[in-house]
Amino acid sequence: MTLAEELQNFKHQQDETGILTIYLNTDFGEGSQHSGEWKIRLKNGLKKLKEYVETSGTKEEQKAYKKLADKANQHIYDQQMNLQKSFIFMASADGEFLVEKILQVPVETEFHWESYPVLNQLEQMQESYPAVGLLMVQKSDVVLIDAALGEIRDEKHFSWEIESEDWKQYKGNASSDRIPSGSTQVDEVQQRFEENRHRWYKNLAPVIDKEAKKRNLGGIYLVGNKESVRDVEEQLHTTIIDIIPKNLISKPSHEVLNTVYGEEVR
């Protein structure tokens, strides 16, 4: 489901008893977050919302809110080791609607109890961080990251297989499966790839273009050393948003995303 389709689906969600929406800033880049500031914000936000529901809500609402507040608190703490810059939680009293997102972009901390999910910040992020691809190129290894709202939705890893002379898709780190052991063999593989990389990148380009179209990506960031990135850029028909001349293919995906967004801001 595309980002636009997700938001349209969210807009149709309604529960007269109540829907809890939480936008929680968990950006550890902020000095205050190192001491667990997000935990204090979460506690205070849920407490204030509880007071509001107890004052103006029915008994049914109060019961539903407590259940969802406890659920939200537990889910966020369960994910605390994976938190990046923000966490979004939306859930309905009837249990039919539940959304949790760990995002690479910050939000303003907000807590809402309404009959519908509050989507203002998500809609703003859709404009600021549309669906894009990050294509990391490191010689015979290529990784495509599909990201939207600062959230990594999917990854595809490609490596050139010397025996079949074709690009193969792998899960996880492909290079250890593809390159034979022994420094002489590795050198031979890399030398052969250097001699043929223009033609072999040309073979991969239609696959990347097809993925970008299928995923409705607004464009692609090319990440890697200048020589490899230039060769790939010449072959792609997909819009190139920007070029990041850094070798990040061995970095965790969330670090790559942070680096790319950081480069774009400068």
Q: How confident is the model at residue 186 (pLDDT cuts 50, 70, 90)?
A: low
Beta bridge pairs of residue 170: 157
Rounded to the nearest 5°, which phi and psi values hold at 139?
A: 55, -115
Element (H, E) at 19: strand 19-25
pLDDT average, residue stretch 16-21: 98
Whether residue 116 is found in the same domain as residue 241: no
Domain boundary, last residue among 127, 160, 195: 127
Q: Is 182 left (phi over 0), alpha (psi -120 to 50) or beta?
A: left
Q: How many domains does the chain have?
A: 2
Residue given tokens 């920007």 in the structure block? 242
Whether residue 152 is found in the same domain as residue 84: no
Entry pTM: 0.75
Contact (CB, 8 A) for 222 and 233: yes
Domain residue limits at 145: 129-265
Whether residue 156 is found in the same domain as residue 206: yes
**Cα radius of gyration rounded to whole Å, the chain:** 22
Burial of 8 (0-12, 13-18, 19+ CB in 10 A): exposed
pLDDT average, residue stretch 182-191: 63
Whether residue 109 is found in the same domain as residue 161: no
Chain segment 24-71, per-residue pLDDT in tens: 999 876 555 455 899 999 999 999 999 999 999 999 999 999 999 999
**Which is more confident, 169 or 2?**
169
Whether residue 93 is found in the same domain as residue 136: no
Whether residue 233 is found in the same domain as residue 113: no
> Which structure tokens are listed for 29?
């880049």
> Which structure tokens are listed for 136?
């990391």
Whether residue 141 is found in the same domain as residue 256: yes
Whether residue 122 is found in the same domain as residue 138: no
Whether residue 72 is found in the same domain as residue 169: no
Domain boundary, last residue among 69, 102, 127: 127
Whether residue 36 is found in the same domain as residue 137: no
Residue 64 has a pLDDT of 98
Domain boundary, last residue among 127, 149, 165: 127
